[in-house]
Amino acid sequence: MTILENIEGHKEHHPPLTTWKTYFSFSTDHKVIGIQYIVTAFVFFLVGGIFAMIIRGELITPESDLVERTVYNAMFTMHGTVMLFLWTFPVLSGLANYLVPLMIGARDMAFPRLNAVAFWMVPIFGIILMASFLLPSGPAQAGWWSYPPVSLQNPSGNLINGQFLWLVAVALSGVSSIMAAVNIVTTIFKMRAPGMTFFRMPAYVWTVLSAQIIQLFGLPALTAGAVMLLCDLCFGTAFFDPAKGGSPVLYQHFFWFYSHPAVYVIILPIFGIFSEIFPVYARKPLFGYRVVAVSSLIITGLSAVVWVHHMFASGTPNWMRMLFMFSTMLISVPTGIKVFAWVATVWGGKLRLDTPMLFALGGLVMFVFSGITGIMLAAVPVDIHVNNTYFVVGHFHYVIYGATVMGVYAAIYHWFPKMTGRMYYEGLGKLHFALTFIGANLNFFPMHPLGLQGMPRRVASYDPEYAFWNVIASLGAFLLGMSTLPFILNMVSSCVNGKLAGDNPWRAIGLEWLISSPPPVENFEELPIVISEPYGYGKNEPLVENGANLK
State which of positions 443-472 bind another protein (CB under 8 A): 449, 452-454, 456, 458-463
> In this structure, how many other beta carbons lie within 10 angstroms of the beta carbon of residue 197?
10
40 touching another protein, by CB under 8 A: no
Binding mask 486-515 for another protein (x = CB under 8 A): ---------------------x--------
**Tell me, what amino acid is at 46?**
L
The region of 43-51, 185-193, 201-209, 373-381 touching another protein under the rule CB under 8 A is 373-381
Candidates 255, 258, 390, 535: give the one binding another protein (CB under 8 A): 535
How many residues in the shown chain lie near another protein by CB under 8 A? 98
> How many CB atoms sit inside 10 A of residue 18's CB?
17
For another protein, the binding residue among 175, 234, 351, 438 (CB under 8 A) is 351
Q: In the complex, what is the shortest distance from the CB of residue 109 to another protein, in angstroms, rounded to a whole number?
A: 31
Q: Does the footprint of another protein cover residue 384 (CB under 8 A)? A: yes
Q: How far is the CB of 360 from another protein (least distance, A)?
A: 11
DSSP string, 517-528: SSPPTTS-SS--
Q: Is the dihedral of CA 399, 198, 212, 312 positive or negative?
A: negative
Kindly state whether residue 532 participates in binding another protein, applying the rule CB under 8 A: no
H helices present in 236-349, as ranges: 248-259, 261-282, 289-303, 318-330, 332-346
- By the 10 Å C-beta count (0-12 exposed, 13-18 middle, 19+ buried), 1 is classed as exposed
Shortest CB 187 distance to another protein, Å: 27
In whole angstroms, give the CA distance from residue 413 to residue 404: 14
Contact 304, 249 (CB under 8 A): no
Show the binding pattern over residues 75-94: x = contacts another protein (CB under 8 A), - = does not. --------------------
Residues 143-182 touching another protein, rule: CB under 8 A, are 143, 147, 149-150, 153, 155-156, 162
Among the residue ranges 197-205, 222-230, 337-345, 477-485, the one whose residues contact another protein (CB under 8 A): 337-345
Q: Candidates 39, 379, 529, 531: give the one binding another protein (CB under 8 A).
A: 379
Does 199 bind another protein (CB under 8 A)? Our answer is: no
For another protein, which is the closer residue by CB, 191 or 329? 329
CA 242 vs. chain centroid, Å, equals: 34
- Interaction between residue 242 and another protein (CB under 8 A): yes
Element (H or E) spanning 426, and its range?
A: helix 426-444
225, amino acid identity: G
Residue whose CB is less far from another protein, 86 or 460: 460
By CB under 8 A, residue 70 contacts another protein = yes
- Contact call for residue 325 and another protein (CB under 8 A): yes
Q: What is the pattern of x (binds another protein, CB under 8 A) and - over residues 104-143?
A: ---------------------------------xx--xxx
CA 11, CA 6: separation in Å to the nearest integer? 9
- What would the 3-class secondary structure string for 55-109 be? HHHHHCCCCCCCCCHHHHHHHHHHHHHHHHHHHHHHHHHHHHHHHHHHHHCCCCC
In whole angstroms, the minimum distance from the beta carbon of 100 to another protein comes to 24
Alpha carbon distances (Å) from 359 to 281, 293, 478? 12, 22, 20
Closest approach of another protein to the CB of residue 43, in Å: 25
DSSP 8-state class, residue 456: B
- Sole window of 38-46, 263-271, 378-386, 494-502 interacting with another protein (rule: CB under 8 A): 378-386
CB 284 within 8 A of CB 107: no
Closer of 112 and 149 to another protein (Cβ): 149
d(CA 405, CA 487): 13
Query: Quick one: 18 or 70, whose CB is closer to another protein?
Result: 70
- Check residue 322 for interaction with another protein (CB under 8 A): yes
Q: Kindly state the smallest distance separating residue 91's Cβ from another protein, in Å.
A: 26
At its nearest, how many Å lie between another protein and the CB of residue 55? 13
| Helix ranges restricted to H, 149-288 | 162-190, 203-235, 248-259, 261-282
Residues recorded for the chain: 551
* Shortest Cβ 342–another protein spacing (Å): 9
Binding residue (CB under 8 A) for another protein from 195, 349, 518, 520: 349
